[in-house]
Amino acid sequence: MILTVTLNTALDITYRIRSLRPHSSHRVTEVTERPGGKGLNVARVLAALGHEVTVTGFTGGGTGRAVQDQLTAVPRLVDALVPVAGPTRRTIAVVDEQTGDTTQLNEPGPTVTPAEWSAFQKAYEELVPSMSAVALCGSLPPGVPVGAYAGLIRSARAAGVPVLLDTSGEPLRRGVAARPDIVKPNADELAELTGSHEPSRATQDARRRGAHAVVASLGPEGLLAVTPQGRWRATPSARVHGNPTGAGDSAVAGLLSGLVERLPWPDRLARAVALSAATVLAPVAGEFDAAAYEELLGRVAVTGSTTAA
C-alpha cells in the first residue's frame, strides 16, 4: 500500500470553450469535475497502474463531500481524509479548444486550525508504518506550519518508510533538510531552492542540501535525475500539446511506482516521462491516456551513467 498526502485537496473543474478571449463572455461546451490536488492526482494514476493506495489530507464543506463521493468510484483507493470545518478549495482549468492552451485558477484552500492539524498528524502517524512508500504533495493550506512536510518526512523515516516530496518554496527548503528519499521540483522550484538556473548544477546542490535523490522536471524536455546510484536524463520523443494539469503528478506516480516495484532508475524515469506526456494528451485534467502511455513508453530516450553522483 502506498500513501499519498494532499494537505490542500481540491475539486478540479475543467471548462472547455471554443476560444478564450479576455473581457468577453464565453459559452462553455463541456464541464468535468474530478478530485484534485497533487496527491489525489498521484493516487489516481497509481491506482490505474494497479497499485493499492491510501489518500489522506484535509477535506471539508460541500466541495469536500463531492471529492470524497467521487473517490469511492476509484478502484484500489482507500479514503483516509481528515475532516476540517472550512470548505475544500476548487481549481478551475479553462481549455481553449482552438489553441489547446489552458488557463488555471487556483483557490487558496481552507484555514486549518491547530486542533485540526494535530488530528491529521495523529492519523498520519498511525497510517505510515503499514505503507510501502509515502508521497507528500502540493501546497500547504492556510494555518498549516511551514515546516509541516519536514516533520512528516522525519516521521516516515523513523518508521523506515521511503518518502517522496513534491512541493515548492519554503516548505520545499525545510523539507529537503529533513532528508527525503526523493524530491521532484520543477525547474523554477529548483532555481528558487538553490539560486541556480542551470539544472545540472541545481540538482546536485539540492542533493547536498539533504535529498537522497533529486528528479527535476524540465517540462516538455523531460526529467533530470541525480541519485546515489548515478545521473540520468529522460527525454520524450516529441513535444505533446494539450492540458498540462496533473502532468507533474503523473510523473510522481511513475517515480513512486518504480520505487516500490524496485525498478532501475532508467526504467522509473522512462515511466514517469511517458505518464506525464500521456496526461497532457488526456481530455480531462489529472487523467492519463492509457493507449498513448503504452506507445510513448517505448520512445522515451534515457541517457546517463551509473557512476555515483
Catalytic residue among 12, 166, 249, 289: 249
Is 181 tagged catalytic? no
Minimal CA–CA distance to 211: which of 161, 165, 176? 176
- Look at 57-71, 139-153, 190-204 and tell me which has the smallest mean pLDDT: 190-204
Average model confidence (pLDDT) across the chain: 93
What are 277's strand-pairing partners? none
Residue of 271 and 295 predicted with greater confidence: 271
- Tell me what the mean pLDDT of segment 91-116 comes to: 90
List, as one string, the DSSP characters of 18-49.
Answer: S---TTS---EEEEEEEEESHHHHHHHHHHHT
User: What are 223's three cell numbers?
Assistant: 526529467
Can you tell me the distance from the alpha carbon of 41 to that of 9, in angstroms, rounded to the nearest whole number? Answer: 10
Residue 165 sits at the vertex; the CA angle it makes with 161 and 169, to the nearest 5 degrees, is 150
- Tell me what the mean pLDDT of segment 297-303 comes to: 92
- Please check the confidence at residue 168 and state whether its pLDDT lies above 90: yes
pLDDT band per the 50, 70, 90 thresholds, residue 309: very low
- Please check the confidence at residue 266 and state whether its pLDDT lies above 60: yes
Per-residue burial over 188-208, b = 16 or more CB atoms within 10 Å of its CB, e = otherwise: ebbbbbbeeeebeebbbbbbe
**Are the C-beta atoms of residues 248 and 185 closer than 8 Å to each other?**
no
- Tell me what the mean pLDDT of segment 193-199 comes to: 91
Count of alpha carbons within 13 Å of 267, Cβ hemisphere only? Answer: 8
Q: What percent of the chain has pLDDT over 70?
A: 97
Can you tell me the distance from the alpha carbon of 266 to that of 261, in angstroms, rounded to the nearest whole number? Answer: 13
User: What are 79's three cell numbers?
Assistant: 479514503
**Are the C-beta atoms of residues 87 and 110 closer than 8 Å to each other?**
yes
Listed ranges 95-99, 217-221, 240-244, 251-255; the one with the highest mean pLDDT: 251-255
